[in-house]
Structure 1
Amino acid sequence: MKGWRPPAPFILLLPAIVVLAAVVIVPLVLSLYSSFTAFRLTQPASLYTLIGFRNYQRILTDIEFWAAFGRTVLLLTIALNLEMLLGLGLAMLVEKATSGQRLLRTIMMFPMMFSPILVGFQFKFMFNDNIGLVNNTLQSLGLSSQAIPWLIDGTLAFIAILVAEIWSSTSVFAILILAGLLAMPKEPIEAARVDGCTPWQTFRYVTWPFIMPFAYIAMTIRSLDVARAYDIVKIMTDGGPAKRTELLWTLISRTAYADARMGVANAMAYVAILLSIVFTAYFFRKLSAARTQIAAEW
C-alpha cells in the first residue's frame, strides 16, 4: 500500500459521499434499528431495548393503521385516475392549439410551482365554513342556502383534500402526456383517417397506445407522491375530524411525535415504504408492457 493514492474521481466524489452518508444512510440505518426497539422519545434509554418484530406484529393487528392505509389507497386510486383524465384532456387541448402553445404550457405548469404547504393553506381558506370562496360562491349562485362544513364533515374533508391534490398535480400528467403527443409521428394518424377511422377509433387504437408509456411514467411519479402525502392533509385537516382523513404519513407523524412512540412509527414507515415499492413495481411492469407493445406496433 506504500505510495498508493485514491483515484481522482473518488477524491472528487468524497465530499458528496460523506454528506450522503450523514443525511441519508445513517438516519436510514438508525431508523431501521429503532423499529426493532421499544424506543420512545420520552425515554431515550429505550432505544437500546430490543423487542424483535413486536412493533411489526402490532402494526399488522392495528385497525387504525389499516384504516389509514385504506384511505391512502382510496386517495391514490381516485386522484391518479382523475388526474390522468384531466391531464389527458388538457394535453390534447394544448396540442391542438394553433397559437400561444408555449404560453399555455407555461400556464399549465403553474400549479407544480406551488409548495404543498402553500396549496394546503390556499384550499383550507377556500373551503372555510364562513369566509371560504367555495361556500360564498355556492350561496351567491343560490346552490346552497347555508354554509357547508367542508373541513368538519369527514367525507367532505376527504373530498376537499382530493380536490387540492388533483389541482396541484394534474399538470404532471398533462406535461408528460403532451410530450408524448408532440413526439408522436403524424403519419399513422393520417393513415387512420384515410382508412375511414372515426376520431374515437383513431385515439383508441393509434394515439393512446403511443402515449400510454408517458401516462404510466406520470402514474409512477404521482403514486409515490400520493402514497407519502402529508403536507396538504396536515395543513387542511391534520387527519381530522376524528381521524376520518388520517393517511399513512399523518398517522406515522402523530405516532412518532404526539404519542412519542418512535419505534412503532419507524416500523409503520418501513411498512409504508414496502407498500410504495409494490405500487411502483406494478406501474413499472405496466410501463414495460406498454413499451413492448409500441416497439411491436410502431
Structure 2
Amino acid sequence: MKRKFLSPPVLLLLPAMIIIAAVVLVPLLLSLYTSFTPFKLTRPDTLYRWIGVRNYMRLFEDYYFWAAFLRTFVVLTIALNVEMLLGLGLAVLVNKAVSGQRALRTIMMFPMMFSPILVGFQFKFMFNDTVGLVNNALQSMGMERVIPWLVDEHLALFSILTAEIWSSTSVFAILILAGLMAIPRDPLEAARVDGCTPWQTFRHITLPYLMPFMFIAMTIRSLDIARAYDIVQIMTAGGPARRTELLWTMISRSGYVDANMGLANAMAYISILLSIFFTFYFFRKLMAARRYMGGAQ
C-alpha cells in the first residue's frame, strides 16, 4: 500500500503555520485562559486556579476601568474626526499644487516616520511647564501665567490628543490624496459643463469617491487609537490621578506594576471587543461606500 503524505502546498505552508501557532495562537489561548484565573506574576501557583468570570464581573463594577474605557472612546472619536478633516484639507491642498507636489507628499509623510515614543518625548518637552516651547511662546506674547499642560486633567488629555493627531493625520492625508488622484476626470468635467459650483462638485462627486479611502484610514486608525499606549505613557503615565489613563495604560499598570496578570488579560479582551466593534462598523461603511460608487458608475 502506498503511504499517504501531506500535499506539497501543505508542506510548504507548514513552517509558517508552526511559527504562527507558536508566536500568536499559543500566547493568545494562554492569555484567554489566564483571564479566568487570579494569576499574579509574583505567585505562579495562581495560574492553576480557575475562578470563572470573576475577573470580568469585577471589571463591570470597577469605576476606574469604565472611566478609562469611556476616555478611550472619547479620544478615539475626537482624534478620528479631527484627523479626517485635517487630512482631507491637506490632501486637497497638495492635490491642487501646480509644482513641487512630490516634495509636499514627502514632507506630509514625515510625522508617520517618527516612533510613538519619540513623539511622546517631543510633545512632553513642548508642553513642559517651565522649559516647554508652548509656554515660552505664550509668555513671549505677554501671558504671565504658566499653564500646567501635563498636570491639569483636561489640558493633559488635550496635550495627548494634540500629539496623537499630529503624528497620524498624514495617514488620512496620504490615503485621501490617493483617492483624489484616482478620481476619473469625466464626472468632474460634466459637472463643470452643467454649471455646478466647486462646492457642489466636491459634495456630490468628489466626496463620494473619497469615502472608501476615508473608511480605510478610519479602520486603520481606530485599531491604533484603541490600543494607544506609548504616547500616553511617555507624556503623563496616566496621570494626574489617573485622569488620562486609557485602556492599554491601565492594562499595563495592572499586569506589570500590580502583577495582576489575570485581571489585565480580562481587560485586554474587553478592549479587543472595542477594536472589533469599530473595525466591523467602518468595514460596513466601506462596503456601503463601494456599493454606492459601483451603482454611480
Cα distance in 2 for residues equivalent to 1:77 and 1:3: 59
TM-score (norm 1): 0.97
SS in 2 for 1:80: helix
Cα distance in 1 for residues equivalent to 2:185 and 2:135: 46
Q: Which residue of 2 aligns with 1:40?
A: 40
Q: Which residue of 2 aligns with 1:182?
A: 181
Opposite residue 121 of structure 1, the aligned amino acid is F
> Structure 1 residue 140: deviation in Å?
1.2
Opposite residue 208 of structure 1, the aligned amino acid is L
Superposed CA offset, 1:156-191 (max 9, x none): 010000000000000000000000000001111121
Cα distance in 1 for residues equivalent to 2:153 and 2:2: 70
Cα distance in 2 for residues equivalent to 1:169 and 1:51: 41
Cα distance in 2 for residues equivalent to 1:157 and 1:68: 14
Q: Which residue of 2 aligns with 1:290?
A: 289
Q: Which residue of 2 aligns with 1:120?
A: 120
Cα distance in 2 for residues equivalent to 1:88 and 1:227: 22
Cα distance in 2 for residues equivalent to 1:5 and 1:113: 47
TM-score (norm 2): 0.97
> Structure 1 residue 2: deviation in Å?
5.4
Cα distance in 2 for residues equivalent to 1:62 and 1:250: 16
> Structure 1 residue 62: deviation in Å?
1.2
Cα distance in 2 for residues equivalent to 1:181 and 1:13: 39
Opposite residue 25 of structure 1, the aligned amino acid is L
Q: Which residue of 1 aligns with 2:27?
A: 27
Q: How many residues align?
A: 297
Q: Which residue of 2 aligns with 1:236?
A: 235
Gaps of 5+ in 1: none
Q: Does 1:55 align with 2:55?
A: yes
> Structure 1 residue 260: deviation in Å?
1.2
Q: Which residue of 1 aligns with 2:278?
A: 279
Opposite residue 280 of structure 1, the aligned amino acid is T
> Structure 1 residue 13: deviation in Å?
2.8
What does 1:73-152 correspond to in 2, within 5 Å? Answer: 73-142=73-142, 144-152=143-151
Cα distance in 2 for residues equivalent to 1:196 and 1:145: 54
> Structure 1 residue 10: deviation in Å?
2.9
SS in 1 for 2:120: helix
> Structure 1 residue 17: deviation in Å?
2.1
> Structure 1 residue 74: deviation in Å?
0.5
Cα distance in 2 for residues equivalent to 1:132 and 1:277: 38
> Structure 1 residue 141: deviation in Å?
2.0
Opposite residue 150 of structure 1, the aligned amino acid is W
Cα distance in 2 for residues equivalent to 1:255 and 1:135: 34
Superposed CA offset, 1:124-174 (max 9, x none): 1111111111111111122x2122110011100100000000000000000
Opposite residue 8 of structure 1, the aligned amino acid is P
Gaps of 5+ in 2: none
Q: Percent identity?
A: 71
Q: Which residue of 2 aligns with 1:12?
A: 12
Cα distance in 1 for residues equivalent to 2:205 and 2:13: 46
Opposite residue 71 of structure 2, the aligned amino acid is R
Cα distance in 2 for residues equivalent to 1:189 and 1:138: 45
> Structure 1 residue 59: deviation in Å?
1.1
> Structure 1 residue 69: deviation in Å?
0.6
Q: RMSD value over aligned CA atoms?
A: 1.2
Opposite residue 44 of structure 2, the aligned amino acid is P
My pick for the range that moved more, 56-65 or 155-164, is 56-65
Superposed CA offset, 1:55-82 (max 9, x none): 1111112111110011001100110000
Cα distance in 2 for residues equivalent to 1:2 and 1:120: 63
Cα distance in 2 for residues equivalent to 1:133 and 1:2: 77
Cα distance in 1 for residues equivalent to 2:83 and 2:95: 18
Q: Does 1:166 align with 2:165?
A: yes
Q: Which residue of 1 aligns with 2:257?
A: 258
Q: Which residue of 2 aligns with 1:224?
A: 223
Moved segments of 4+, more than 4 Å: none
> Structure 1 residue 192: deviation in Å?
1.1
